Amino acid sequence: MDKKITPLSKLFLVIIFFILYAPIFFLIFYSFNSGETMYDFEGFSLEWYRQLFHDTRLFIIVLNTIVVALLSSLFSTIIGILGALAIHMAKRRQTKNALLSFNNVLIVSPDVIIGASFLILFTMAGVKLGFYSVLLSHIAFSIPIVVLMVLPKLTEMSPSLIDAARDLGASSWDVMSKVIIPYISPGIFAGFFMALTYSLDDFAVTFFVTGNGFSTLSVEIYSLARRGISLNINALSAILFLFTFALVVIYYFITQRNKPNDMGVRKR
């Protein structure tokens, strides 16, 4: 196809990319500052990284964050798959739509509302605010995302696939484990991945339901940032950026590899 991009529109794209990335690289740049401000670059140093790696408190917080993220995405993936199956197998159209609407409530709700309502819920139920309340909240808000990632794969799957499996003598369990689950596995991976990033990124909900003594990275950054500039946040952001970028690259290659058969991209 003849598609040409004029130099002007190229410039526009360059500016957009610059604006999107400049603040991030700005942060990373100053993480190597031997001084203490984000405007006066005094000299190159790795002092802030050294400080960061010796900060055991922060280390525990990072660990907390990762544990919560992994556990919550694991549980939410399992429940999400079951949910997607429940929606997919619902016979009546209204049931399907109702389930889907309930599913989407937490996705469209602003974080503050989720946070505030979960805070009330945990207080009423007598759950102590801390690790469990945070974990439960993360599981709760990740489930609908997993459902939305898995459901399209289920609807895309031809029903004759299941009939074929039954025809070849598969039991319900065989159908599930040997046909359905392998077929929807790209959706499951994507869902797990999204749940992971949602959990790692979440600030607002965690901020509401975390008690004293338990903190995740986002909450920690917030309280540090409210106190003003401190360059070990920069060092932290550099590391997080590298980590995120690595995840993105992995994700890209997984989806690229899956493309010909799984993403259903038709090329003429």
Partner 1 sequence: MENKLTRNLYKVPYLLWILLFVIIPIALVLYYSFFDIEGHFSLGNYQKFFTPVYLQMTLSSFWYAFLITAISLIIAYPTALLLTKTKHKQLWLLLIIVPSWINLLLKAYAFLGIFGTYGISNSFLKVIGIGQQQILFTDFSFVFVSVYIFIPFMILPIFNSLNELNPTLVDAAKDLGASKWTTFRRVIFPLTIDGVKSGCQVTFIPALSLFMLTRLIAGNRVITLGTAIEQHFLVTQDWGMGSTIAVFLIIIMVLIMLLTNTRKRGV
Residues 90-149 that bind partner 1 (CB under 8 A): 99, 102-103, 105-106, 108-121, 124, 140, 143
Which of 5, 126, 167, 169 is the binder for partner 1 (CB under 8 A)?
A: 5
Question: CA 10 → CA 2, 16, 132, 260, distances in Å?
Answer: 16, 10, 49, 30
Contact between 9 and partner 1 by CB under 8 A: the answer reads yes
Q: Which residue has the tokens 């997919």?
A: 88
Q: Using CB under 8 A, which residues numbered 193 to 222 contact partner 1?
A: 197, 200-201, 203-204, 207-208, 217-218, 221-222
| CB nearer partner 1, residue 23 or residue 260 | 23
| CB nearer partner 1, residue 89 or residue 168 | 89
Cα separation, 172 vs 61, in Å, equals: 44
Q: Using CB under 8 A, which residues numbered 154 to 173 contact partner 1?
A: 172
Q: Using CB under 8 A, which residues numbered 54 to 73 contact partner 1?
A: none
CB of 86 to partner 1, least distance (A): 4
Residue 27 is given by DSSP the state: H
CB of 198 to partner 1, least distance (A): 10
| CB nearer partner 1, residue 132 or residue 245 | 245
Which of 66, 70, 74, 79 is the binder for partner 1 (CB under 8 A)?
A: 79
- For 261: left if phi > 0, alpha if psi spans -120 to 50, otherwise beta; the answer is alpha
Cβ contacts of residue 136 below 8 Å, gap of 6+? 118, 122, 127
Residue 212 is given by DSSP the state: T
CB of 248 to partner 1, least distance (A): 5
Cα separation, 200 vs 45, in Å, equals: 28
Stretch of residues binding partner 1 (CB under 8 A), selected from 42-50, 51-59, 81-89, 159-167: 81-89
Residue 10: CA count within 13 A, CB half-sphere = 4
Residue 228 phi/psi, 5° resolution? Answer: 120, -165
| CB nearer partner 1, residue 71 or residue 204 | 204
